[in-house]
Structure 1
Amino acid sequence: MKKALFSFLFILTASVEMMAQTSSADQEIIQLSKDKWQWMADKEADKLSQLFHEKSVFVHMGGSWGKDREINIIKGGMIHYKKADIHSISVNIIDSTAILLNRITLLAVVGGNEVTNPFEVTEVYVKQNGAWKLGSLSFTKLNTNN
């Protein structure tokens, strides 16, 4: 009986620790995503350049491109991500990959025009050498006529 009780307590303790670790990793990704939105709003290209993986891809309503072009677009103000209002957020971590979904309303300046759009944004992060790097950022415009 003692052996069964000890085994149960051991499994319970290990499960609680695993859930705390997962929750901690989820929170780390959520905070990193929030920081990214702020860095984009503030046009902090140096911080974004460190966050974006060298092979990262960005999918917008107007096309897709890599890290260098995204950084240059932000630096040059071709797209100014003024404010992302986050309505919901979820994270799924699979091994060393984190998939984050944001439902946002984005206020941006595009081509000199201020626009507001509802998006579902998919962010994919990969963990390399102990640090999370953004591998993909994709915007899907939501239909608000539902």
Structure 2
Amino acid sequence: MKKILVLSAFLFISITGAFAQSAIEKELIQLSMDKWQWMSDKNVDKLKDLFDDKAKFVHMSGTWKKEEELEIIKSGSIWYRKANVKDTAVEIFENTAIVWNRITLDAVVRDQVVVTEFTVTEVYKKQGSTWKMLDLTFSSVRDTHTIKK
């Protein structure tokens, strides 16, 4: 009888943990999708709340900090018109999470329309009850690239 109770408790904890992680993964995926929409809409107020004050942004043409990224988005010097997300993977490490998005980005960069394949790495940290983005890195890839899960 004791063995059955211990086994039942173990299974319950395992299943509960799997569902909890799944819910967190869904939350992070939705946050990432919201971020793409906010970038497209140039909604710097929402992005300002999402980006940690020490966040870094790595693009093909340089690396900059939060205020520079917000100004670039606000001014439209880079307009993230549409991120077509093809694949997403999430890894959670306690209160830190990494989200990888495989995207085709339709953007306007310095008045030039560009369509580029990227794998985008987003690093988040749970601060209180909210996730804050610490890093956003664009890696140029071939259209056949896949994210290992």
Report the TM-score when normalising by structure 2. Answer: 0.95
**Aligned equivalent of 1:70:** 69
Number of equivalent positions: 145
2:60 counterpart residue number: 61
SS in 2 for 1:143: coil
Runs of 4+ in 1 over 2 A off after TM superposition: 143-146
Name 1:90's counterpart in structure 2. Answer: 89
Cα distance change of structure 1 residues 7 and 66 upon mapping to structure 2, 3 Å threshold: same
- SS of 1:29's equivalent in the other structure is helix
Corresponding residue for 2:132? Answer: 133
Q: Which AA in structure 2 matches 1:72?
A: E
CA 132–44 in structure 1, closer or farther in 2 if over 3 Å, else same:
same
Identity in percent: 45
Partner amino acid, structure 2, of 1:139? F
Distance 1:77 1:106 in 2: 15
CA spacing shift, 1:123–1:5, aligned 2, 3 Å: same
CA positional deviation for 1:87: 0.6
Secondary structure of 1:74's partner? helix
Alpha-carbon distance in 1 for matches of 2:25, 2:97: 8
Provide the secondary structure at the position in 1 that maps to 2:99. strand
Gaps of 5+ in 2: none
How far apart are residue 143 of structure 1 and its match?
3.0
- TM-score scaled by length of structure 1: 0.97
One-letter identity of the residue aligned with 1:41: S
Q: Does 1:9 align with 2:8?
A: yes
